[in-house]
């Protein structure tokens, strides 16, 4: 079935990039070793070390929720607490998986734009010897954030230094890491290993893959923990070559950056086009591939009925528009024209 309408609800709704599909088809013939013993997964390991640093080790998985849980469980080594923002995906959108599967307590911090700072982390980084309080063991940040903002490498490095000073680890939920790196014009290593991140959940699904994520770590002890926990949490693909091939395709010839940069450019085009429309308030800086806006309630409801985008905040009526690797300028222009017509009613 073809011809699905593109929209602005989520980059998760986009289909796979043709180069990713071709990579999957290319490894479909014959037999290969299972559970990661194949040549494709070995090639992925080399590509990950090239992109993320010489000590990086990658563990392909099925989805972001599972990958986040495995990464956090590996870093905490048991029941402990994780410091995150109050809009962090691990807190708001994973059905309590970190708590239910890894036994974690989430200490949340309100933020105006989805970003943690050392000062904000300090509001929860205490009580390390208090038996009545879950001990903070990890700080987790999202890049790009749930609000569409990005952390500069220096901001991540400051968080890493602070976390390590407390004897705790820094995890990066990189569901849209490619969009952030493309927006910043930096390498994947500069916003992860070089900045002091201890573990990364590297998202591919939102950037042109079918169903492929990976946990990437930088020390042997954490790697061994991930290796064991991946099976425990149901995230060990038997036919791993098909997951590895997708991520390898994105890490070949800069495809990850091309896909992400295009999605970012479409979000910038969308924001620029609606910024002057009466009744439209853009609520967050447009730094990656998300646009957050507030519209008049009736206009918003009618547009949602036709275009299917999500309400981000019910109290403020803030909605989210997401652009994807396959969003076209024509998609943006047609949508903006419909928004303008609706506001003019």
**Which tens digits make up the pLDDT trace of 36-89?**
999 999 999 999 999 999 999 999 999 999 999 999 999 998 679 999 999 999
Is 273 in contact with 332 (CB distance < 8 Å)? yes
Model confidence over 77-109: pLDDT tens digits?
Answer: 867 999 999 999 999 999 999 999 999 999 999
CATH number of the domain at 14-250, please? 3.40.640.10
Can you tell me the distance from the alpha carbon of 320 to that of 293, in angstroms, rounded to the nearest whole number? 7
Inter-residue contact 225 to 77 (CB < 8 Å) = yes
219: tokens are 């020390």
Give the percent of the chain with pLDDT over 90: 96
**What gap in Å lies between CA 181 and CA 168, rounded to an integer?**
25
Averaged pLDDT for residues 10-33: 97
pTM: 0.96
Average pLDDT value over all residues in the chain: 96
**What are 91's two structure tokens?**
């807190």
Cβ atoms of residues 137 and 76 within 8 Å: yes
pLDDT of 312 over the 70 cut = yes
- Nearest Cα to Cα of residue 240 among 60, 56, 88: 60
Q: Cα dihedral sign for 241, 206, 326, 305?
A: positive
DSSP 134: P
Phi-psi region of 49 (alpha: psi -120 to 50; beta: other; left: phi over 0): alpha
Indicate if the pLDDT at residue 2 is higher than 70. no
Above 50 in pLDDT, residue 129? Answer: yes
Q: Do 70 and 97 touch, CB atoms closer than 8 A?
A: no
Altogether, the residues listed in the chain come to a count of 345
| Peptide linkage before 144 cis (omega within 30 of 0) | yes
Domain boundaries, the chain: 14-250, 255-343
- pLDDT on residue 216: 98
Give the right CATH number for 255-343 from 3.30.160.150, 3.40.50.620, 3.30.420.40, 3.90.1150.10.
Answer: 3.90.1150.10
Neighbours of 154 (CB within 10 A): 9
Q: Is the peptide bond before 179 cis (omega within 30 degrees of 0)?
A: no
């Amino acid at each position: 079935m073809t011809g699905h309408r593109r929209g602005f609800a989520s980059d998760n709704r986009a289909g796979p990039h043709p180069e990713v599909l071709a990579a999957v088809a290319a490894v479909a013939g014959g037999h290969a070793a299972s559970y990661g013993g194949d040549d494709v997964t070995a090639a992925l390991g080399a590509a990950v070390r090239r992109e993320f640093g010489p000590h990086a080790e990658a563990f392909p998985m099925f989805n972001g929720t599972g990958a986040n849980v495995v990464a956090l469980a590996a870093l905490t080594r048991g029941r402990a607490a994780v410091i995150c923002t109050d809009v962090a995906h691990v807190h708001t959108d994973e059905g309590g998986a970190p708590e239910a599967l890894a036994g974690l307590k989430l200490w949340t911090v309100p933020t105006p734009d989805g970003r943690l700072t050392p000062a904000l982390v300090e509001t929860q980084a205490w009580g390390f010897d208090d038996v009545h309080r879950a001990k903070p063991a990890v700080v987790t940040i999202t890049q790009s954030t749930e609000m569409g903002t990005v952390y500069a490498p220096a901001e991540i490095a400051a968080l890493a230094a602070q976390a390590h000073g407390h004897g705790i680890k820094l995890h990066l939920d990189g569901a849209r890491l490619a969009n952030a790196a493309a927006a910043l014009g930096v390498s994947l290593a500069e916003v992860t290993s070089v900045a002091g991140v201890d573990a990364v959940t590297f998202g591919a699904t939102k950037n042109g893959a079918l169903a492929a994520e990976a946990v990437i770590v930088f020390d042997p002890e954490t790697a061994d923990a991930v290796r064991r926990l991946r099976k425990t949490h149901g995230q060990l693909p038997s036919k791993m070559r098909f997951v590895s091939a997708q991520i390898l395709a994105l890490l070949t010839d800069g495809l990850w950056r091309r896909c992400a940069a295009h999605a970012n450019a479409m979000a910038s085009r969308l924001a620029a086009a609606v910024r002057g429309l009466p009744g439209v308030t853009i609520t967050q800086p447009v730094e990656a591939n998300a646009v957050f806006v507030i519209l008049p309630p009736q206009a918003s409801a009618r547009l949602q009925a036709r275009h299917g985008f999500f309400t981000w905040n019910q109290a403020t009526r803030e909605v989210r528009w997401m652009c994807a690797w396959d969003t076209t300028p024509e998609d943006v222009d047609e949508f903006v024209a419909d928004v303008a017509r609706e506001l003019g009613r």
